[in-house]
Amino acid sequence: MRLALAQAEARHPDLQQRLVALVAASGTLFGSPKLEDALPAIIALARSLVPADGYAIWRLDASARLWRIGVSSGVSDAFTERLVRADRGDAEGPVPFADPLVANSVRETPMLAERLDAYEAEGVEAILAAPLTIAGRATGTLVMYFRTRQVFTDVEIQTARALSNLAASAIATAELYDEQRRSRDEAERAERRAAFLADAGAALASSLDYATTLQNVARLAVPRFADLCTVDIVADDGTIERLGIADVDEDRIERLRDTHRRYSSNRESPGIVSQVVRTGRAVLTPEVTDAMLAARARR
């Protein structure tokens, strides 16, 4: 107990100094509207104000009824994964405490009993956790982990409270920015789709020669949606004929035509085009690897 008291006295005792530091650092938290920047900045600020052995920001995933780690420092991945597994499917709602959770000893804190094995494996002896109230609900926590028993001072508890309030505001601001950015991006994508469909409709009506029309459609897609676009049809004799092709690199077009003639001449040929013709179903290949290209070249 004397050691714990000595440790508490050795830590910064002046609440006013800490609050001044907190206000001074607020510019860092709000300096970037991105969540991936805000979370590490919160951890860095916590480290400077409340020296601990480890830190983590937890967020509630209500749909999965699961608490997840947003960012952590000073604790092992195995520890955080073990805590996540312990809570899997058991998260009933927001943080069950409104004031900072003070656990001078995790073994003597009934609320932490189910996590005790994880704490012991990591060597955690004490924690100080403050709720993060975001959008009116306490759906996150800022947790500081200690590998020795503690006697947390009122200054440290009040610092954790002030830090969590500032952190919650920074997270809420970043998430609002992300939501607005996603909405803006989706609106821009919808506008581009509508413009493409309008242009494609005009292209389809621009010529009675369907070969010319399909070539125009391929050109519309590049580079608006893709680096390469091909349009193929099945001829009366069952062969696959390439009528439209556009590429951001026009020097590749003839090589692509030659490749098609050699490898995709009919519906039984190997390859994606032939597969789509045979099955009548779309095929999505998220990534074209070197191995896939090499295998195709050997056919």
Domain boundaries, the chain: 2-181, 217-298
Helix (H, G, I), strand (E, B) or coil at 88: coil
The pLDDT of residue 9: 45
Distance CA 22, CA 142 (A): 15
Instruction: Count CB-CB contacts under 10 A for residue 29.
Output: 23
The pLDDT of residue 230: 86
pLDDT (tens digit, 9 = 90+) per residue, 171-187?
888 888 888 888 887 88
The pLDDT of residue 171: 85
User: Is the model more confident about 197 or about 91?
Assistant: 197
Q: What is the largest CA-CA distance in the chain?
A: 93
According to DSSP, the residues that pair with 134 across neighbouring strands are 137
The pLDDT of residue 200: 74
The pLDDT of residue 1: 42
Helix (H, G, I), strand (E, B) or coil at 234: strand
Q: Does residue 16 surpass a pLDDT of 70? A: no
Q: Is 42 exposed, middle or buried (0-12, 13-18, 19+ CB in 10 A)?
A: buried
| Residue 82 token pair | 């073990």
pTM: 0.59
Q: Which of 50-59, 97-106, 146-155, 197-206 is the least confident region?
A: 197-206
What does R_g of the chain's alpha carbons equal in angstroms? 30
Prior bond of 223 cis (ω within 30°): yes
Q: Which residue has the tokens 């955080």?
A: 80
Query: Is the distance from CB of 277 to CB of 260 less than 8 angstroms?
Result: no
Q: Which residues contact 291 (CB under 8 A, 6 or more apart)?
A: none
Give percent above pLDDT 90 in the chain: 18
Q: Which amino acid is at 179?
A: E
Handedness of CA 295, 296, 298, 299 (dihedral sign): positive
The pLDDT of residue 75: 94
Distance CA 17, CA 242 (A): 73
Q: Does residue 25 surpass a pLDDT of 70? A: no
* Average pLDDT value for the chain: 80
Q: Which of 14-23, 59-68, 198-207 is the least confident region?
A: 14-23
Fold classified for 2-181: Beta-Lactamase (3.30.450)
The pLDDT of residue 6: 46
pLDDT (tens digit, 9 = 90+) per residue, 193-209?
788 778 777 776 777 67
What mean pLDDT is predicted for residues 64-90?
A: 81
Q: Does residue 237 surpass a pLDDT of 90? A: no
Q: Which amino acid is at 112?
A: L
What mean pLDDT is predicted for residues 247-260?
A: 80
Helix (H, G, I), strand (E, B) or coil at 140: strand
